[in-house]
Amino acid sequence: MKIAAIDALLVNASEKSNWSFIRMTTDEGLTGIGEASLQGWESVQLAYLDKLKADLIGKTPQQTLPLLRAHPHSLGGLVANSIISALEQAVTDIRAKAAGVPIHALLGYAQRKAIRVYANINRRIRDRTPAGFAENAKSAVADGYSAIKIAPFDDVYWEEFGNPEVRKRIALGMERVFATRAAIGPGVDLMIDCHWRFDEASATQLIRDLEPAKLFWMECLVSESPENHAALSRLRKYANEWGTQTAGAERQVGVGGFRAIVENRLMNVIMPDVKYAGGYTEMLHIAELAAQHGIAYSPHNPSGPLCTMATLHLCALAGNFLIMEHQLAESSVYLDIMKGEHPKLVDGCYAVPDTPGVGMELNDEAIRAHPYKPLPASALRDPRLG
């Protein structure tokens, strides 16, 4: 069995997002799929995919794997590694289908059948008042989620803290956090994503100020670049003293990209993303590294349904799994663009897929009905963040 074709399929999910998928087809008619969504970089991704095709087509799935290793030092950065990660996902999907087993059974032994998920509700919140955050959070809890994540600090960046308007935005962000906590009550876990908007001094102050909200974790407080590693270590210790955890590392690639963060215990929870970190195999190596150092594993997944399905298999296998992200109700096409049975939320959990491969297939007709659209600059992340 050899790789005969590789195709990209792009879909416009909302005014804020496009989703990028890759389908690999063998000469025996088996297909494998992977997700590579990376907002605003789709044209560069497609160019890199075209460059790789010549090296992959005509090879067996097993022969392709050594060519699909993600490297943190790659000249192509996250763009190249996202394509490599999606191709590795697609190859693994083919291998599992050929063996007639779910991906988690191909790669190891499932340690759990149900995966606790938290609802990332940020992108669906149109009313950005504290009341709007509170109502959205209440709705998610009513839907059955036992944990909620918000990103409350819109248009905040630490280099602009001298601007009184930015200080007001920080205060508004804290109001959103407290309104959300009041709405969901003390029995629901609440996380916040800070998107690297703070420096060490302001993050330290934020940990103190938000202590009454009893946060489950504070994510991406400061940039995770090497010059901030000492600050990350101090912030983790300080957050733990104040009753919460720190989380992050969603943009790191491969075991090499996570090694310093994990071995130096720079945060309590790491959040590798199957779309960027190297696909299934590298994600499992990262989980093993984290487990050796007592770090919890909570995959990043603010993406399309394919990434959700892939991540469920990984969470089933990781011994140090904590909780998995689910991007809630950002897009009305979420359930349309794939065929098959998407897991239903039961007791705050999704069941691990048990059909061969990843568990669902792309729906070409629905994808054609929602073609890729370039996003305005306002929909793309500030390049200073991260």
* pLDDT score of 383: 85
| 3-40 pLDDT per residue, tens | 999 999 999 999 889 999 999 999 999 999 999 999 99
First to last CA, the chain: 42
Residues 60 and 115 in one domain: no
Range of the domain at 240: 105-359
Q: Is 365 inside any structural domain? A: no
Residues 242 and 134 in one domain: yes
Give the C-alpha separation, 202 to 223, whole Å.
13
Q: Which residues of the chain have pLDDT under 70?
A: 386
Residues 146 and 181 in one domain: yes
Is the distance from CB of 258 to CB of 272 less than 8 angstroms?
Answer: yes
Residues 92 and 156 in one domain: no
* pLDDT score of 377: 82
Q: Is 375 inside any structural domain? A: no
Pairing relation of β-strands 114-120 and 324-327?
parallel
* pLDDT score of 16: 87
Give the C-alpha separation, 149 to 152, whole Å.
9
Q: Is 383 inside any structural domain? A: no
Domain boundary among 69, 100, 131: 100
- Residue whose pair of structure tokens reads 């993406």 in the numeric block: 303
| 101-159 pLDDT per residue, tens | 999 999 999 999 999 999 999 999 999 999 999 999 999 999 999 999 999 999 999 99
Residues 116 and 72 in one domain: no
Domain boundary among 68, 100, 132: 100
Residues 72 and 209 in one domain: no
Q: Is 198 inside any structural domain? A: yes
* pLDDT score of 318: 97
Tell me the whole-structure pTM to 2 decimals: 0.96
Give the C-alpha separation, 329 to 312, whole Å.
18
* pLDDT score of 369: 97
Q: Is 246 inside any structural domain? A: yes
Residues 314 and 332 in one domain: yes
Domain boundary among 81, 100, 119: 100
Residues 131 and 55 in one domain: no
Nearest to 167 by CA among 159, 156, 181: 156
Q: What is the CATH number of the domain that holds 128?
A: 3.20.20.120
* pLDDT score of 25: 98
Q: What is the CATH number of the domain that holds 31?
A: 3.30.390.10
| Neighbour-count burial of 252, counting CB atoms closer than 10 A to its CB (0-12 exposed, 13-18 middle, 19+ buried) | buried
Residues 73 and 211 in one domain: no
Q: Is 367 inside any structural domain? A: no
* pLDDT score of 380: 82
Residues 87 and 132 in one domain: no
DSSP one-letter string for 294-350? T-EE-----S-HHHHHHHHHHHHH-TTB--EEEE-SS-TTTTTSEES-PPPPBTTEE
* pLDDT score of 231: 98
Residues 242 and 295 in one domain: yes
Q: Is 165 inside any structural domain? A: yes
* pLDDT score of 362: 97
Domain count, the chain: 2
Q: Report CA 179 to chain centroid distance, whole Å.
A: 25
Cα→Cα distances 162→158, 166, 168, 386, Å: 9, 8, 11, 20
Residues 264 and 200 in one domain: yes
Q: Is 156 inside any structural domain? A: yes
